[in-house]
Amino acid sequence: MELYNNIKALHLIFVITWFAGLFYIVRLFVYQIEAQSKPTPEKEILGAQYKIMTYRLWYIITWPSAVLATLFALVLLHLNPEWLYMPWMQVKLGFVALLLAYHLKCHQIYKQLQNDDTRYSSNFMRLWNEGATIILFAVVFLVILKNAIDWIYGVVGIIGFSILIMLGFKFYKNIRKKNNS
């Protein structure tokens, strides 16, 4: 039991650092994209600095955390294989697959920005950042409630919260636009 609890603690620690990395990397993407519209030499200075920051965050914190969180999760599932037959765990694993897809898409965006290939706006990145938040809410509600139905209330709540964030974002964007005029 002590081994199990230690592995569970390590899994949770690396899940937290993984999400921290995902939240911050997308925020750095916003700054990196916005730096490209700055005048010279500010554009070059900021661009170089953000590339260093994103590189370090991505390869020193986020990727290792994703790998270690996944490895410890696999060990936990090996120790408790009956979990694989529980509906809440099956739904959770679906969200974990979605999280992995989100992570890989962030990796693709990271590589594009490292090559000065900007395909998304800073506004898109601000909204993209909410994807990890929705996944986090869904997984936490599933793990705590352990009920394949009750977690829906939490997800509906986070979707409602996301709508409020988007409305707030539009409001903020309009204020910024007025202040820049």
Q: What is the DSSP letter of 86?
A: S
Q: Please tell me the distance from the alpha carbon of residue 142 to that of residue 147, in angstroms, as a whole number.
A: 6
Q: On the CB side of 84, how many CA atoms lie within 13 Å of its CA? A: 9
Q: What is the DSSP letter of 114?
A: H
Positive or negative, the CA dihedral 44, 45, 46, 47 is positive
Q: Please tell me the distance from the alpha carbon of residue 148 to that of residue 107, in angstroms, as a whole number.
A: 31
Q: Is 92 annotated as a binding residue?
A: yes
Q: Is 11 annotated as a binding residue?
A: yes
Q: Please tell me the distance from the alpha carbon of residue 161 to that of residue 64, in angstroms, as a whole number.
A: 30
SS3 71: helix
Longest dimension (CA), the chain: 63
Q: Binding site residues, as ranges? A: 11, 92
Q: Binding site residues for heme, as ranges? A: 11, 92
